[in-house]
Amino acid sequence: MLKIPKKVLDRLNTTLKTFQNVAAIQKQRDVSEADTVTLVKDILADALGFDKYMELTSEQQIRGTYCDLAVKIEGKIRFLIEVKAAGIALNDSHLRQAINYGANQGIEWVVLTNGLDWRLYRIKFHQPIDVEEVSAFNILNINLKNEDDQHKIFLLCREGLTTDAMDSFHQHAQLLNKFTIAQVLCGEQVVGVIRRELRKLFPELRVENEAILDILTTDVLKREVVEGDKVKETQAKIKKAVAKLAKQSAAKTAFASELNPVKDIKDMLPTTTDSNTSTS
């Protein structure tokens, strides 16, 4: 998983409490969007480690409209940030606005925030455009002693960009999730283990794998993890992983054969008794 530098944790521990207090006050006072943008810029600079003047661009123009903030490293925009006023609850229309900005600019990472709630999304440039939430947190609830919270906020840190933390975290989340675990549970090997354990506990029980699989998919697991496009996508990933393992296994077998060739043609012949051998 992500390795967070000590200097990042020290900086967050030094600054985060102040910003938590300011964010709470801004929400209570229902401040304007402009005031929230100022807070977000300060968080990005002082807590998350960006250079306020060189790496944070305000009012990034995109096809005649403006996104509130853009994080630009060495002249390249790494992610866009759409900011809403602290007192406004983030909703789907705000998300669509952020996605449109990213899609029009060809930028796959966008952040939607009101200074308190921070949501990181990855745009999937398919037809049609799709998006998935990679991480989300409320700054008031962040506990820096919690490793999961550390990882969530590190994704938006300057050092996180340097180590491609967003991509690493996203890949991890793509593999370790409810859909993958559900498909593994429904796999032939795991169903076989369940069957054997049931037979061990209840020797009189006669049950086939198909019956166990039916119970898993209809009664144990939620429908969302056994049906739909996400499930098909996960099944394809698992199928690809199985094929890769099979290929690696075949390569190891071939390599072992090369290391242990037949030394003599006689090794391939059956052992026979020499009838001309005399006995004393």
The DSSP element (H or E) to which 271 belongs, if any, is: none
What is the model's pTM? 0.63
Q: pLDDT tens, 239-280?
A: 776 777 777 777 777 666 666 655 554 554 555 555 454 444
Residue 145 banded pLDDT, cuts 50, 70, 90: very high
Contact 43, 118 (CB under 8 A): no
Q: Where in the chain do CATH 3.90.1570 domains reside?
A: 6-163
Q: pLDDT tens, 194-228?
A: 888 888 888 888 888 888 888 888 888 888 777 87
Q: What is the DSSP letter of 248?
A: H
DSSP string covering 74-108, please?
TTEEEEEEEE--TTSPP-HHHHHHHHHHHHHHT--
CATH of 6-163, one of 3.40.1800, 3.90.1570, 2.60.40, 3.30.2250: 3.90.1570
